[in-house]
Amino acid sequence: MYNEMNSFFIFLKKKYNLETVVALHPKHRKNTKLPYLSKLKHYHLKTLQLTKDCDLFISYASTALIPALFFKKPIIFFSTSEMEASYRTRFDTYLIAKILGRKVIRIDENFIDKNIQFKVNKKKYQNFLYNYSTFKKIQNIRNYKIISDFFSKI
């Protein structure tokens, strides 16, 4: 899987002049070596700032999508045959991509350049945030507003 990811990142660099930077999972132990990331810049506990500053957000189904949606970043959902062996990962990734009007790129196949969408459907992003990131029974303040206020301070 990591070879395919690295090939995809190289493609993005050559085709779109985009440098890949990795936001490590918050539970990642800082001193643990990650040989498959040795050629990429990677940061711990910087997901929010990296997302705010990025030109393109690459992910599969993850809660890290929420800031990308808030900041209205183009999102590429990716998958591999190894990832799709997990029903939950496959289902979540394809479902979220469909809700957001995005396509999933299988990076272990000959992915098609036309699948890379830089245009953002702001209405779908906003609806996703409201429908899936808002607890509607608490006060009269939407989580979206709370999150918006928080992000605007960054």
Percent of the chain clearing pLDDT 70 (strictly above) = 89
In a domain? residue 126:
no
- For the cut 80, the answer to whether the pLDDT of residue 11 exceeds it is yes
Buried residues in 24-36 as b, exposed as e (16+ CB within 10 A):
beeeeeeeeeeee
The answer to whether residue 141 is domain-embedded is: no
Q: Is 117 a residue whose pLDDT tops 90?
A: no
- How far apart are the C-alpha atoms of 72 and 120, rounded to whole Å? 7
Task: Give the range of the structural domain holding residue 78, as residue numbers without chain letter.
Answer: 2-120
Tell whether 51 is covered by a domain: yes
In a domain, 88, yes or no: yes
Number of domains in the chain: 1
Q: Each residue of 15-51: pLDDT tens digit?
A: 899 999 999 888 888 777 777 777 888 888 899 999 9
Residue 74, in any domain of the structure? yes
